[in-house]
Amino acid sequence: MKFSISWLKEHLETDAGVDEIAETLTKIGLEVEEVFNPAGQLGGFVTAKVERLEMHPDSDHLHVLKVNNGKETLQVVCGAPNCHEGMIGVFAPVGTLIPAFNEVIKVGKIRGVESFGMMCSEKELGIGEDHSGIIELPADTPVGVPAAQVLNVDPVIEISITPNRAECLGVRGIARDLAAAGLGKLKKLKILKKNGSFASPIKVKVEDYEACPVYVGRYIRGVNNKAETPKWMKDRLAAIGLRSISPLVDVTNYINYDLARPLHVFDADKLKGNITIRMARPGEKFVSLEDKEYALDDKSLGICDDEGIQCLGGIMGGAEKGCSADTVNVFVECALFNPVVIARTGRKFQIDSDSRYRYERWVDPKSNVLGSDYAVQLITEICGGEVSDMEMDGKEDYQPKVAYLRPERMKSFVGIDVSKDKIVEILNHLGFVTSEENGKIKAVSPTWRGDIDCEQDLIEEVVRMVGLDTIPAETLPHGKFPKQVLTPAQQRVVTVKHELANRGMLETVTWSFTDSKTAKDFRRSEEAILLYNPITAELDEMRPSILPNLLIAVKNNIARGYPNLALFEAGPEFYGRNPGEQYTAAGGVRCGMTSAKSWIGEVRPYDVFDAKADALAAIAAANGPWENAQVTTDAPAYYHPGRSGALRLGKNVMAYFGEIHPAVLKKFGIKQRVVAFEVNLDNIPLPRVSHDKARKKLELSPFQPVDKDLAFVVEKNVPAVNIIAAAKNADRKHITDVRVFDVYEGENLPEGKKSVAIALIFQPSEATFTDKEIETLMKKVEVEVGKKTGAVLR
């Protein structure tokens, strides 16, 4: 909401300057977004007198002036038609910044004649719209003084209006708030009641008083819409960015911004028959003044004549029956519409207008006759014409809201004492009618306030007037001693992130949305969770997995020249559309080489075992049973079928890992191998809450462990984990560790076989092993592994 200071002063008697007004507005909840003070950019401009005027020797419209700026007389070339000898205007000497062009005046040569400055128009100074000629100041204006001192500049303030303060969408509402804050006195409205001299030939019938409680119409005949809108009105509208169009349009705009009171004016000669206010018929057509056609529904309110809907009530006028320069007879509408109907229709058909904006917030339900009178007064003042009697259907019988305030609640709710008298004074200034009832203040809302429903609403009115800065800051008292700030489930997400970062991965955050085209392969269920109104087609689905977004990141980083990547994200994945059908996951990708070239150390491509290690590390960081995880080879189809797996706890999948399927990578436009993992943190059981934090006693054996290696030859398809498990099982008491240290396929081995070499650790418990005991253990391993896997010693 914008307004100029002169407009404000139409309603507010005040001596306060722009800065004080702006500061107060913010303090009382009308947040100032910008103060535009044209005086601020008038530095350099001075008043100057045109002492001589000659025609330019080489032009039929340019003049060559001798201009006296109080210090010297300079030659200036000027094209303004209103320029004459003896006039006093505003002069821009060389070096002055012209606000309208954002350019500095230089010494110029115009058709061979030198010019040392410029005589300016209002528009060039950025203080008005007038560009028909240069500014002419009164003849007694002193010469050589700064222009800002003599020009009537009108600063403009822009404030943001919160949805509860609809009355401040009119300048009068803002003036009232400032007056209540002690910044001046609210002036009385000067609206004259004009009696009609004939009965309106157009009658009004409201069919739905729920949607339109009251409709007031006035017929004015013989208006001249070619008349000039008065300068003061044009200037005020221009100051807030509204172009003058015609007196009839200007008047409706003016009243809309002056009293927050929307109006509509029909060209009465274009209307056929009477006006009916009714719900639209399903599919009924309406063409707006923006020339867009809508097929309405039966919840939309139309203002209709015999030919159909001519205005979408409270939202927008129609194309056909509006006013033009040739309009002679008009019908002026001032009505009240149900905010819910307006909001629904506006939202459904996506029509925004100043009128809708006001109606769906709050329009003073008792301003219909008043608004009508105001419109009639301004129209006839400007355009002439003869006014009909008022044509009205419905009643202006709104019952204002009532709320109660217990004065002691100021202290117990906001922490400041405000006396009952002070509270009453503030409320009265804001237009509330107050009385006392059982020690409470009863406050009847003014009709322009629709937002006061309860005690807290009244408290807010008082607080914003006494100032939030009067409330002391009190440190929150210490409540009960908190057990744990983060739950174990929340804390482990943090730990997993730090673990993965510590493993050299960069944490990223990507959208919870993804592209349904590439997400398809990653869905966990048949159905996609698609947005009704995505912001772009690429962000139209709630992501079923973190991976597609990470793959997009991989592609983008490769394109930027960074092919060696290790990225992860922890966040939600969605498996259903109902609230809560999501789990917390940690997903990561690695691709390219483990590092840049190096003279030392192994630099190799990332492979599936890096992803598996990440998954196991994440499970471990989440306090999960990583050592007991079963490894199965049934990862989803977006993984390489031979290089992927799942880490399970029975039926529960804690993680998937593997190389991404090359066919999937192709859809993302990625040409290099990518390994990935996804850990479903919600599927990892939380450790049991144990009250005994003491650890199991450490038993140290006094006897040295023994290292032994065994190499087996086995069918290629036997999983290594089966050999390890069988070896461990051979003697659970004495075999404390089994590791695979070599896997070999190829020469010297029969077709379809592989060799797996394991390192065993035998731990004696009672006495150092004898050679015979060690031999027995090795035999046990050989037999058990052979039994379980068919392996034979190599």
Partner 1 sequence: MEDIESLKTEMLAAVSKAEDLKSWDEARVALLGKKGRITELMKGMGALPVEQKIEMGKRLNVLKSEVEEALNVRRAELAEKELNEKLSRETVDVTLPVRPENQGRIHPVSKIYEEVVAIFGEMGFEVAEGPDIEDQFHNFNALNMPANHPARQMQDTFYIPNKNSDDFDDSYVVRTHTSPVQIRTMERQRPPIRVVAPGRTYRSDYDATHTPMFHQVEGLVIDKNITMAHLKGCLYDFVKAFFELDDIPVRYRPSYFPFTEPSAEMDIGCLKTKDELKIGAGTDWLEILGCGMVHPNVLRAGGIDPEEYQGFAFGMGIDRLAMLKYGIPDLRTFFESDVRWLKHYGFMPLDFSSMTGGLSNNGGSAR
Q: What part of residues 524-543 is at the interface with partner 1 (CB under 8 A)?
A: 529-536, 539, 542
- Is 477 a residue that touches partner 1 (CB under 8 A)? yes
Residues 349-368 that bind partner 1 (CB under 8 A): 360-361
- Is 475 a residue that touches partner 1 (CB under 8 A)? yes
Burial class for 537, CB neighbours closer than 10 Å (0-12, 13-18, 19+): exposed
Can you tell me which of 460, 607, 737, 773 binds partner 1, judged by CB under 8 A? Answer: 460
Indicate the residue among 358 and 734 with the shorter CB distance to partner 1.
358
- The per-type count for the chain, helices as H runs and strands as E runs, is 20, 42
- Is 468 a residue that touches partner 1 (CB under 8 A)? yes
* CA–CA gap between residue 367 and residue 374 (Å, rounded): 10
Cβ at position 475, least distance to partner 1 in Å: 4
Can you tell me which of 139, 537, 600, 698 binds partner 1, judged by CB under 8 A? Answer: 600
- Is 562 a residue that touches partner 1 (CB under 8 A)? yes
Can you tell me which of 413, 609, 703, 741 binds partner 1, judged by CB under 8 A? Answer: 413
* CA–CA gap between residue 501 and residue 479 (Å, rounded): 36
Helix 455-466, helix 420-429: angle, nearest 10: 90
Structure tokens of 575? 């498996």
* CA–CA gap between residue 345 and residue 621 (Å, rounded): 53
Indicate the residue among 50 and 410 with the shorter CB distance to partner 1.
410
Cβ at position 518, least distance to partner 1 in Å: 15
Selected range binding partner 1 among 36-44, 56-64, 305-313, 454-462, rule: CB under 8 A: 454-462
Can you tell me which of 104, 145, 189, 454 binds partner 1, judged by CB under 8 A? Answer: 454
Residues 27-46 that bind partner 1 (CB under 8 A): 27-29, 31
Element (H, E) at 573: strand 565-574
Residues 151-210 that bind partner 1 (CB under 8 A): 162-165
DSSP class of residue 612?
A: H
Indicate the residue among 552 and 616 with the shorter CB distance to partner 1.
552
Selected range binding partner 1 among 283-291, 379-387, 588-596, 685-693, rule: CB under 8 A: 588-596
Can you tell me which of 75, 377, 456, 623 binds partner 1, judged by CB under 8 A? Answer: 456
* CA–CA gap between residue 54 and residue 712 (Å, rounded): 114
Cβ at position 693, least distance to partner 1 in Å: 20
Indicate the residue among 164 and 652 with the shorter CB distance to partner 1.
164
Each residue 487-526 as x (binds partner 1 by CB under 8 A) or -, in order, gives: x--x---x--xx-xxxxxxxxxxxxxx-------------
Cβ at position 600, least distance to partner 1 in Å: 5
258 CB contacts (<8 Å, ≥6 apart)? 7, 10, 170, 171, 172
Cβ at position 33, least distance to partner 1 in Å: 11
Selected range binding partner 1 among 20-28, 92-100, 143-151, 671-679, rule: CB under 8 A: 20-28
Can you tell me which of 601, 642, 702, 752 binds partner 1, judged by CB under 8 A? Answer: 601
Q: Which of 556, 548, 508 is nearest to 528 (CA)?
A: 548
Indicate the residue among 26 and 419 with the shorter CB distance to partner 1.
26
Structure tokens of 238? 């221009």
Q: Which of 217, 251, 229 is nearest to 330 (CA)?
A: 217
Structure tokens of 226? 């070619």
- Is 598 a residue that touches partner 1 (CB under 8 A)? yes
738 CB contacts (<8 Å, ≥6 apart)? 724, 727, 728, 758, 759, 760, 761
Exposure of 142 in the CB half-sphere (CA atoms within 13 A) = 8
Q: Is 227 left (phi over 0), alpha (psi -120 to 50) or beta?
A: beta
Counting residues that bind partner 1 (by CB under 8 A) gives 104
Cβ at position 394, least distance to partner 1 in Å: 21
Can you tell me which of 91, 574, 656, 769 binds partner 1, judged by CB under 8 A? Answer: 574
Cβ at position 362, least distance to partner 1 in Å: 9
DSSP annotation string for 629-660: PEEES---TTEEEEEEEEEEETTEEEEEEEEE
- Is 343 a residue that touches partner 1 (CB under 8 A)? yes
> Strand pairing partners for 266?
331
Can you tell me which of 482, 642, 650, 702 binds partner 1, judged by CB under 8 A? Answer: 482
* CA–CA gap between residue 450 and residue 680 (Å, rounded): 50
* CA–CA gap between residue 780 and residue 772 (Å, rounded): 12
Structure tokens of 289? 């003044």
- Is 557 a residue that touches partner 1 (CB under 8 A)? yes
